[in-house]
Structure 1
Amino acid sequence: MFEVFKKELKELLRDKKTLIFIVALPVAIFPLLFAVMAFISSQATLEAEQKVHTYAIINGEYAQSFTDKVFYHKSFQLYKGEHTFNTVAELTQAVKAGTIDMGIFLPADAKQNLDDAKQSQWQVVYNDAKAINFLFDRVKELAEEFGNNLRAEKLLSYGVSVEQQSAIIDPIKVVKVDTADKRENLGEKIGGFIPYLLIPLVLMGATYPAIDLGAGEKERGTLETLLLTPITRTQLVLGKFITLLAASIATTTITVLSMGIWISIAITFIDLDVVKTAFSSLRVLDLTLIFIILLPVAAIFSSLSLAISIYARSFKEAQNYMTPLSMGVIFPIIVALLPNVELTAKTAFIPVTNVALAIKEIIKGTIDYTLLGLIFLATVIVAGALLAFCVKWFNKEAVLFR
């Protein structure tokens, strides 16, 4: 068995393409991830701050202080073209034509309406489908500020002080007392995406070598030579399995170490508060737990990949079979991302989903070690069953020589 392992390991180390997937990709994926996050975040912020939108306002004299604030706002520029606008329909047509980005219609004097005990309804015309929703929010904020000032002045004229106004307008103030710390809060939001990245890399570390160890041997005609050697088929398949497991564990080790190293670099040099808050309290113990929980997953993927590769007639056919396997692994990870799907005694026995949930809980810092033990035990049992199936599969002539 160990002779087979040494033989397969030597061939594996000679294959540059496989080494790229086992070593280079796990090392490169995290710096690329953080670089893309930093770039997208900075570009989106910069674009949002620098972009100036053209607007037109009708009846701006009805709320002069509001009109002045919109005029001097850094995000807005008053339309100075030849077109004139008098109705909401004309503003709508201008926005659709791209003449202006936004139109504001003030139907009447807001102060006079308040004196007459009427509510003034202002209309903001813009294209909500163009991802510039903040236009409405900014105008609404300025309008609410103007409305609050009107209300305060009116109440003062009735003899209601500022303190009394606060109590009357908002008699009950509900204050949130969050029992979750920042790590748990952000870990819940972004921790689910870590297994979405880790687990497919562990699968990749097993599938690419497996294709060569099974279907590749058939295609090269070397499988028959191996079967003639004085070792049992069980020893032969176990030797191949250990090789795949070693490759997958190597990928797991490199992936977890790479994640830890690049996270420490990211929270030191990259100005991303979300990343810093979520990962600054991530300990070596947490990374170790993630590594340990991924080990039986690596065994599961190694067994499945080897069984598929043994069944395939050729290298290409094995590659075609690995695609559904990848999709089948992604689905239970997505289940772990769904709202209200939490780590419980029931979900602890769902393969892959349980590991994804456990990794999220580790990132959050709220892992239940009893459930973690159950997950490890359940995953080991599944891995053992799949390995037994793989051995039985390899002992069938109908499978080896299809």
Structure 2
Amino acid sequence: MFEVFKKEVKELLRDKKTLLFVVALPVLIFPILFGLMGFLATQASLEAEQKVHIYAITGSEYAPEFSEKIKFHKSFKLSEVKYETVDEMKAAVKAGDLDVGILIPNNARDTLSKGEQSNWQVVFNDAASINFIYKRVNDAMKSFSEILQAENFEKLGVTKEQSIALLNPIKIEKIDAADKRENLGEKIGAFIPYLLIPLVLAGASYPAIDLGAGEKERGTLETLLLTPVTRTELVLGKFFTVLASSLATACITVVSMGFWVSVAGSFFDAKIITEVMGAIGVVDLSLIFLMLVPLAGIFSSLVLAISIYARTFKEAQNYMGPLSMIAFMPLVVAMMPNMELTMNTAMIPITNVALAIKELIKGTVDYSMVGMIFAATLVLAGVLMSFCVHWFKKESVLFR
């Protein structure tokens, strides 16, 4: 078995495609892609924040303080064309001639004294994914509302401090019982397994396809079967090669992401993230890796069994697509809001590992639960590995 393992590893290391998938993708391509995505998202948000909006306003004389605030706001520019009705403004917004239209009624200043609300209308396109228009107009409206409130309270002889107490009779002081690690771990803890687990599957898929369907297509499988090695030893040698490739991809990715995060931290303020990552001890990091080992065994068994069944390299690739979708579904479940590690969720394969990794990052894990999940995943990996060995012994599968 060990000789088969050494032979398969040597062949994989000679294959440039394998090195691309196992080494180049995690070290260079994935960080570049994530960095590019972050850069583009930041640029899009920055452009949206800095954009100057063309606005039109009707009834500005009824709310001069509001009109002045909008007029001198750095993000607004008054339209040269005057619009009087909602329909005119809607048409201009749809045509792209106007970003926002504001209609102020003539009773804007009088309704509050009568115990009524003034109905203002804001016309804009809210379909954009990043849109600061409504927030900026709303902030200006709140500022004008405070002016109206102060005027009416003054008429009633209420001081500024009393008016604040009347409007907000209860002041809440927020005291967060969670530490920084737990707080940030809740936010990024679900993302880490979402990155690691698919990489464990991806790291197993390509070598498995080559060691099974690739051997069939090249006609070298028959030669291997003629060697004085039992089929059990042969398939186990291939299995451990796929397992090693899967774990290597995950490890290289973790090291690579840690390196790039440290590099980014030297250019940007990432003190909180650095502190949280530094708070994760060696024991928790080791447990995260150990949780991935039996999971990698499950994936390695599945992809190798599929590759053994497939007639050609292309057919094996076609089978990997549905498997990836099936593997993603439990990850989506783990990322759902308020999803916690309980006895019920601990019984769901892949979901249980993802939730355990999240709890380990947060520092709130129940280690007995981790042990149970590790044991259950290890048993499932053993069952699937046994099936893979049995599958490899069937002539009807090998020579379809």
| Band the TM-score falls in, shorter-chain normalisation | over 0.9
The CA distance in 1 between the partners of 2:170 and 2:22, in whole Å, is 59
Deviation per residue, 1:333-389 (Å, 9 max, x gap): 111112232111222232111111122222323222111111111111111000110
- The answer as to 2:198 corresponding to 1:161 is no
The DSSP-based 3-state class of the residue aligned with 1:110 is coil
Task: Write the letter of the residue equivalent to 2:186.
Answer: E
Displacement of 1:249: 2.0
The CA distance in 2 between the partners of 1:243 and 1:278, in whole Å, is 35
Going from structure 1 to structure 2, the CA distance change for 1:116 and 1:384 (only over 3 Å counts) comes to: closer
Q: What's the Cα RMSD here?
A: 2.1
The CA distance in 1 between the partners of 2:222 and 2:344, in whole Å, is 45
Equivalent in the alignment of 2:236 = 238
Structure 2 gaps of 5+ residues are: none
Equivalent in the alignment of 2:388 = 390
Equivalent in the alignment of 2:221 = 223
Going from structure 1 to structure 2, the CA distance change for 1:34 and 1:364 (only over 3 Å counts) comes to: farther
Task: Write the letter of the residue equivalent to 1:165.
Answer: S
Equivalent in the alignment of 2:100 = 102
* 1:16-55 matched pairs, under 5 angstroms: 16-55=16-55
The DSSP-based 3-state class of the residue aligned with 1:100 is coil
Task: Write the letter of the residue equivalent to 2:4.
Answer: V
The CA distance in 1 between the partners of 2:360 and 2:262, in whole Å, is 17
- The answer as to 2:98 corresponding to 1:75 is no
Count the aligned residue pairs: 400
Calculate the TM-score normalised by the size of structure 1.
Answer: 0.93
Displacement of 1:9: 1.4
The CA distance in 1 between the partners of 2:41 and 2:97, in whole Å, is 29
Displacement of 1:41: 4.1
Task: Write the letter of the residue equivalent to 1:205.
Answer: G
Task: Write the letter of the residue equivalent to 2:26.
Answer: P
1:321 aligned to which of 319, 322, 328: 319
Displacement of 1:259: 2.6
The CA distance in 1 between the partners of 2:210 and 2:280, in whole Å, is 38
Deviation per residue, 1:120-152 (Å, 9 max, x gap): 211111111134642112111111111111211
The CA distance in 1 between the partners of 2:278 and 2:42, in whole Å, is 21
The CA distance in 2 between the partners of 1:322 and 1:133, in whole Å, is 40
The CA distance in 2 between the partners of 1:105 and 1:273, in whole Å, is 46
Task: Write the letter of the residue equivalent to 2:317.
Answer: Q
Going from structure 1 to structure 2, the CA distance change for 1:280 and 1:158 (only over 3 Å counts) comes to: farther
Deviation per residue, 1:80-137 (Å, 9 max, x gap): 13xx322222222222222211111111143233344442211111111134642112
Does the aligned pair in 2 maintain the 1:63–1:109 contact within 8 Å? no
The CA distance in 2 between the partners of 1:56 and 1:230, in whole Å, is 86
Going from structure 1 to structure 2, the CA distance change for 1:278 and 1:381 (only over 3 Å counts) comes to: same
Going from structure 1 to structure 2, the CA distance change for 1:124 and 1:165 (only over 3 Å counts) comes to: same
Task: Write the letter of the residue equivalent to 1:19.
Answer: L
Task: Write the letter of the residue equivalent to 2:102.
Answer: I
Task: Write the letter of the residue equivalent to 2:74.
Answer: K
Displacement of 1:283: 4.4
2:349 aligned to which of 351, 358, 366: 351
* 1:356-367 matched pairs, under 5 angstroms: 356-367=354-365
Does the aligned pair in 2 maintain the 1:30–1:262 contact within 8 Å? no
Does the aligned pair in 1 maintain the 2:48–2:131 contact within 8 Å? no
- The answer as to 2:27 corresponding to 1:7 is no
The CA distance in 2 between the partners of 1:270 and 1:358, in whole Å, is 30
Displacement of 1:330: 1.1
Does the aligned pair in 1 maintain the 2:297–2:381 contact within 8 Å? yes
Percent pairwise identity: 62
Higher deviation after alignment, 382-391 or 320-329: 320-329
The DSSP-based 3-state class of the residue aligned with 2:110 is helix
Structure 1 gaps of 5+ residues are: none
The CA distance in 2 between the partners of 1:281 and 1:55, in whole Å, is 50
The CA distance in 2 between the partners of 1:3 and 1:160, in whole Å, is 90
Displacement of 1:270: 3.0
Equivalent in the alignment of 1:309 = 307
Equivalent in the alignment of 1:61 = 61
Displacement of 1:68: 0.6
The CA distance in 2 between the partners of 1:48 and 1:189, in whole Å, is 25
Task: Write the letter of the residue equivalent to 1:72.
Answer: F
Displacement of 1:162: 1.3
The CA distance in 2 between the partners of 1:394 and 1:101, in whole Å, is 66
Calculate the TM-score normalised by the size of structure 2.
Answer: 0.93
Going from structure 1 to structure 2, the CA distance change for 1:276 and 1:148 (only over 3 Å counts) comes to: farther
Equivalent in the alignment of 1:399 = 397
The CA distance in 2 between the partners of 1:216 and 1:350, in whole Å, is 33
* 1:251-400 matched pairs, under 5 angstroms: 251-271=249-269, 279=277, 281-400=279-398
The CA distance in 1 between the partners of 2:182 and 2:12, in whole Å, is 41
The CA distance in 2 between the partners of 1:123 and 1:183, in whole Å, is 44
